[in-house]
Amino acid sequence: MPLYLLRGSYTREGYQGLVNEGGSGRREAAEQALASVGGRLEAFYFALGADDFLIIAELPDSPTTVAVSLAGKLSGAFDINATALLTPEEMDVAVSKTVDFRPPGA
């Protein structure tokens, strides 16, 4: 199953929920949400800086990942962004492909 990096930042309401539930409660909520769409939580971290949390998750596909992101955004508790992660072997496959491409102005 593909891996995705989900990173996000809490709103005021999200911070209040974090204070009420604690970090473990938020990890459990993430595990439940991911499992509900056939995914699996691989790692959950809180962070200092622009992002408040970082999640690495296995999810079935990109549309499912978008659904997870939309559910988070629509909650109003946090903003979330997803990035597809590739293994070194997947990168090997990518760099072996030939693309017929013409850059702008060429």
Residue 30 lies in a domain: yes
Give the C-alpha separation, 35 to 16, whole Å. 25
- Domain of residue 19, residue span: 3-96
Predicted model pTM:
0.89
Residue 57 lies in a domain: yes
Instruction: Identify the residue whose tokens are 């909650």.
Output: 75
What pLDDT, in 10s, does the model give residues 80-93?
A: 999 999 999 999 99
Residue 103 lies in a domain: no
CATH of the domain at 41: 3.30.70.260
Pairing between strand 53-58 and 78-85? unpaired
What pLDDT, in 10s, does the model give residues 35-55?
A: 999 999 999 999 999 999 999
Number of folded domains that form the chain? 1
Residue 59 lies in a domain: yes
